Every structure is written in structure tokens, then in C-alpha cells.
Amino acid sequence: MKKILNENESFVDESLEGILTAHGDMLRACGGDIRAVFRADAPVKDKVAIVTGGGYGHLPVFLGYVGKGLADGVAVGNVFTSPSCDTIINVTKQVDGGKGVLYLFGNYVGDGMNFDMAGEIVGLDGIETRIVKASDDIASAPRESWQQRRGVAGLFFAYKTAGAKAEQLADLSEVQRVAEKTVERTATMGIAMSSCWVPGAGRPIFEISEDDIEIGMGIHGEPGVERIKLETSKEIAQRIVPKLVEDLGLNDKSRVSVLVNGLGSTTREELYILYRDVDQLLKSYGIRTVKVFVGEYATSLEMAGASVSILDLDDELEGLLDAPACSPFIKL
Amino acid sequence: MAIGINKVVEVLSKSADIITASKDQLEQLDSSSGDGDLGISMKRGADAIKAVLSASGAENDIGGLLIKCAMAFNKEAPSTLGTLLSSALLAAGKETRGRSEMSESEVVKLAGIMTKSIMDRGKAALGDKTILDAMIPMSETMSSSFEQGKSLAESAKAAAAAASAGAESTKELVAKAGRAKWIGERTNGFLDGGAVLCSIVINHLAKE
């Protein structure tokens, strides 16, 4: 796989150096730990801080959601690998504004352990932390055990609502409640069309032939539901949308926000075709769409494919979704 | 007999030496079912503990020392097993914070606390083909032997035998936790690196 880089080993750090140099007015790194990145005005006094993190290779997830109205800090790991507990501790101490810290990240084992342990350690210094994990990938577990699901693009909605709630100076329990509510009411399903290569790896993270697509594949190549021949956008929407509608129990009184997300190398032109077909299906159920996002919100290096996420809105979540948010990667 | 901080330093230092000496053996185990970095990451963690110990001359707080070791170990060995072992050190540290000595029965209790912290952090249980397959029998045997009136040294010897048997049992198990889970059945016939590590350390410590 052709990639623009210098050394495979410096892929993450040099990419971070570029981001920090380009956007130094908005983002900074903790002294001595370039993997601990925070918004330039942190700590924000009297505000609950939100810290996120995970493996690199998913931009704008996770670092791209550090900014006003979103998260306060991020711990960056190696490609597709959990950040170290040490980096999480560094960024937590940096962004804590005295009102506690919400750890908001995707549901993966390594990340869970390291955030868990970091929370325990900063707790010794009197910093209160809570954990909310996005678990929105409906292909990875049934609704009854939705908390076991993997976290994918739907994490975007939780950043947005919890970030807006924190910006209103709500307390830690309230910010946690909003994040949990958002995660529970979010469902995502994706399709992968081509694989991706971790820099320096001798093979792609999974194999898929030129004319196949995999339904429900995870963003690190975790096996999906089924592998089928390439279909039209309409057929793909037909495979995804009814499953999301059923999962969330949506009906003709529902109001939703829709996110059509590109996984890395699928064009925006294609994403809008898929959105068109998703929208027509939602209309056929009588579901009202009030807020639409189409673009790259959670990627997997150069993987081709897309995911569709739906957030089942209520008045509170709709209001929070409307609030302003700004990072070098996201402006709403 | 009370156990002072000097004894704790000695045990930690010896454990670090044992881990370092087992580097090649661990590496070999891990390359059959993991990504082959177990030996080197554990050695890095052990080196970090030695560095903390050599800088802890005036330290008089057993818990404080253990917490420092936990953080240093995790920083240098941020793998899954590294985080689990750091969790165990952290749990032991929190239990003994502000103390300059502890009783033998507290030492026995610590083995159980460390084991439980690994179960909680890793969300794994006995039979999942992890370090717990050596550690649970180790701490349970340690505690039951001690309660039956055996000395700490004798209890440790019994615990070491239980850990060896537990580590050996992982050969027949299918991985249900951690990265090895993804290759499930293919881990059959291989020993779990974490369980072997636990067995090696307790066996060496029990000998002395």
C-alpha cells in the first residue's frame, strides 16, 4: 500500500506534530507527551471536562473531536491500539477544571482497561471520573445486550450532546446522563468494500475480493454479519435502514438525526447517493429527519465503505445537537 | 512476624529479576498465540520497577511504593497483561497506603486482592486461558493453607504448586478473553503466557 510518510514507526507522532503545528491556536500537547492533546483553553474553570481517546487511524475520531462544545482532551494510542494509561492520566490532569472528568470513548477491551485504571489513579489525587462507552454497532451484538456492542461512528453524537451539556456548565452526573442517553439511542451499521493497511504491516487487516462487500464489518476488520456481492446503493440502504429502524424501535412519530459516514476512501459523491437512498427509506416509514451529517466522521485509514448512524431524538437531545461546536476538524 | 518495607522491596526486586530472566521463554510462548511482544514488554516493566526501587531509599510507605511501581510498570508495559499486572500492584498499593509494615495474614489477603483486581479489570474468569488460571488457584491455595495453620513459607510453596498446575492446565483451554480470543480454537495446545509468568514468579519466590 502506497502511503505518504517518512518512517513507519513515526507515523503517529509525525502526524500529530503536523496537526499541532497547523492548529496550535486550538490544540496543544502536554509537555513531554505529544500523545496527550487538549484544547488550548483547557482547563475551562467550573466546566466538566470530557476526555476521549483510542487508537490512531480513525480521524476525525478521536482527536478531531477536541474543541469547544465537544471534548476537552484526547489520549492518542498507536494505530488501532489503546492509548497508555499514563497518557490518559496526563491529559486528565491537564483538562480537569475542578468539576470532574467524563471519559467518553468506544467500547473496546484495551481502551476500557486503560481508562478504568487511569480513573482509579487520578482518583487518588481527588479527580472524580465517570466512564461512558459508545457501543452503537448493531452488527456486533443484539439490542438486549447493546452495551456489549463495539463503538463506531455513532460516537459522534455522544461527543456532540455531552459536549454541549458540559458547555452549559451542567454537573458531572448530568453530562454523564446525556452521554449515556445518547449512546443508548444511537444505532449504526456499516459496510466495508476494501481493506486497509497499518503502516509497516506486511498485509492488510483483512482480505476482501474486488467484487465483494461485507455487511456489518467492524472498523478494525472485525468480522461482520455476511459477505455478499457488490450491490446498488438502494440495495445497500435496504439492508441497513430497516435493521436500524427495528433496533431503535422507530415509528411514524419518531424524529431522528442521520449520519452517513465515509470509512476513508469512499467519495463524498457516493456518500450523498447513499444518503439519498437512506432518506427515501426513512420517509417511507414516516420518520422525520431533522439533522443530517454526511462526510467523514470516523474512518479506518484508507478503508472503502460507509456506515449509517441514526440517533433517536427527543427535545433535549435535539437542542444539544443544535448547539455550536468547533474543532480543527468539525465546525457545526 | 511483621513484614516491613525492606522485605517488600526485596520481593519486588526479586520478582523483577525473575521476569527479566524469563524474557526469552515468554517471548517464545507469545509468538505461538500472541504478537510476540510479551517477553520484551514484561522486561521493560520489570526494569521500570527496579528503577523505582533504587530511587526509593527513604520510602517508608508500602502502599505508596507499590502505587509508584504500578504506574511505572504500566507506563513501560502498556500491553493488556502489563495493564492487568499494574492493576494488581495498584490494588495492593491502595490496600497498604500509609503503612510501614504488615502482618503475615495481610500478605496472604493481598494475594487475593491482587487476583480480584485482575478479574475485575480484565472481566475474565477461571478457565478463560489467562493469567487468572494460575493466579486464582495460587491465591486460593495460599489462603486455605495459611488458614489451616501452615507458615507463610509453607503456604507459598503450596500456592506455587497450585500455580504450576494452573498454568499447565491452560494448554487444554480455548482462549475466551484478550486478543487470543480472536483465534479461539487455534490457541489449543499452547500455554498461556500470562499464566506461565505468574507460575514462574511465585515458584521462584516460594523457593526462598
Say what the pLDDT of residue B187 is. Answer: 64
Say what the pLDDT of residue B33 is. Answer: 59
Give yes or no for residue B169 having a pLDDT over 70. yes
Specify the DSSP class assigned to residue A292.
E
Q: Is A58 a catalytic residue?
A: yes
Distances (CA, A) of B116 to A77, A289, B121, B152, B162: 27, 48, 9, 20, 17
- Cβ atoms of A102 and A130 within 8 Å: the answer is yes
Say what the pLDDT of residue B34 is. Answer: 58
Give yes or no for residue A254 having a pLDDT over 70. yes
The pLDDT tens digits of the residues spanning B64-118 come to 999 999 989 988 887 788 899 999 999 999 999 999 999 999 999 999 999 999 9
Position A81 confidence tier, pLDDT thresholds 50, 70, 90 = confident
Label residue B33 exposed, middle or buried (CB < 10 Å: 0-12, 13-18, 19+): buried
Q: Which of A89, A113, A120 sits opposite B80 (nearest CB)?
A: A113
Position B174 confidence tier, pLDDT thresholds 50, 70, 90 = confident
Q: State the Cα–Cα distance between residues B139 and B137, nearest whole angstrom.
A: 6
* Top-confidence residue, A202 or A217: A217
Q: Which of B121, B123, B178 sits opposite A117 (nearest CB)?
A: B121
* Top-confidence residue, A93 or B183: A93
Cβ-Cβ contacts under 8 Å for B142 (sequence gap 6 or more): B108, B111, B112, B155, B156, B158, B159
Indicate yes or no: CB of B75 within 8 angstroms of CB of A109. Answer: no
Indicate yes or no: CB of B122 within 8 angstroms of CB of A113. Answer: yes
Give yes or no for residue B176 having a pLDDT over 80. no
Give yes or no for residue B165 having a pLDDT over 70. yes
Give yes or no for residue B179 having a pLDDT over 60. no
Q: Which of A145, A81, A78, A138 is nearest to B179 (CA)?
A: A81
Return the minimum-mean-pLDDT range out of A19-28, B16-25, B138-147: B16-25
Return the minimum-mean-pLDDT range out of A221-235, B3-17, B28-42, B132-146: B28-42
Give yes or no for residue A221 having a pLDDT over 90. no
Tell me whether A110 touches chain B (CB under 8 Å). Answer: yes
What average pLDDT does range A287-309 have in this prediction? 97
CA nearest A116 in B: which residue?
A: B121
Measured between CA atoms, how close is B143 to chain A, in angstroms? 26
What average pLDDT does range A75-85 have in this prediction? 91
What average pLDDT does range B155-184 have in this prediction? 83
Position A330 confidence tier, pLDDT thresholds 50, 70, 90 = very high
Greatest CA separation for chain B: 50
Give yes or no for residue A170 having a pLDDT over 60. yes
Give yes or no for residue B121 having a pLDDT over 80. yes
Choice among A28, A58, A149, A239 that is catalytic: A58
- Any idea which residue has 440495495 for its cell? A235
Say what the pLDDT of residue A323 is. Answer: 97
What average pLDDT does range A41-46 have in this prediction? 96
Supply A159's cell numbers. Answer: 461527543
CA nearest A122 in B: which residue?
A: B71
Q: State the Cα–Cα distance between residues A326 and B77, nearest whole angstrom.
A: 35
Return the minimum-mean-pLDDT range out of A103-117, A291-305, A309-323, B24-38: B24-38
Position B180 confidence tier, pLDDT thresholds 50, 70, 90 = low
Give yes or no for residue B28 having a pLDDT over 90. no
- Cβ atoms of A103 and A115 within 8 Å: the answer is yes
The pLDDT tens digits of the residues spanning A105-117 come to 999 988 999 999 9
Position A14 confidence tier, pLDDT thresholds 50, 70, 90 = very high
Q: How many CB pairs under 8 A join A and B?
A: 42
Give yes or no for residue A87 having a pLDDT over 70. yes
Position A220 confidence tier, pLDDT thresholds 50, 70, 90 = confident
Give yes or no for residue A292 having a pLDDT over 80. yes
Cis peptide before A142 (omega within 30 of 0): no
Position B56 confidence tier, pLDDT thresholds 50, 70, 90 = confident
Q: Taking CA B148 as the corner, what is the angle to CA B145 and CA B150, rounded to the nearest 5 degrees?
A: 65
Position A83 confidence tier, pLDDT thresholds 50, 70, 90 = very high
Cis peptide before A328 (omega within 30 of 0): no
Say what the pLDDT of residue B123 is. Answer: 87
Q: State the Cα–Cα distance between residues A290 and A280, nearest whole angstrom.
A: 14
What average pLDDT does range A183-203 have in this prediction? 92
**Amino acid residing at A162:** A
Position B184 confidence tier, pLDDT thresholds 50, 70, 90 = low
Say what the pLDDT of residue A331 is. Answer: 93
Position B15 confidence tier, pLDDT thresholds 50, 70, 90 = very high
Indicate yes or no: CB of B67 within 8 angstroms of CB of A82. Answer: no
Indicate yes or no: CB of A86 within 8 angstroms of CB of B90. Answer: no
Q: Which percentage of chain B shows pLDDT scores above 90? A: 68
Say what the pLDDT of residue A218 is. Answer: 86
Q: Taking CA A206 as the corner, what is the angle to CA A204 and CA A209, rounded to the nearest 5 degrees?
A: 95
What average pLDDT does range B190-198 have in this prediction? 91
This complex has an ipTM of 0.75
Choice among A39, A130, A150, A220 that is catalytic: A220
- Specify the DSSP element, H or E, that contains A308: strand A304-312
Q: State the Cα–Cα distance between residues A142 and A9, nearest whole angstrom.
A: 38
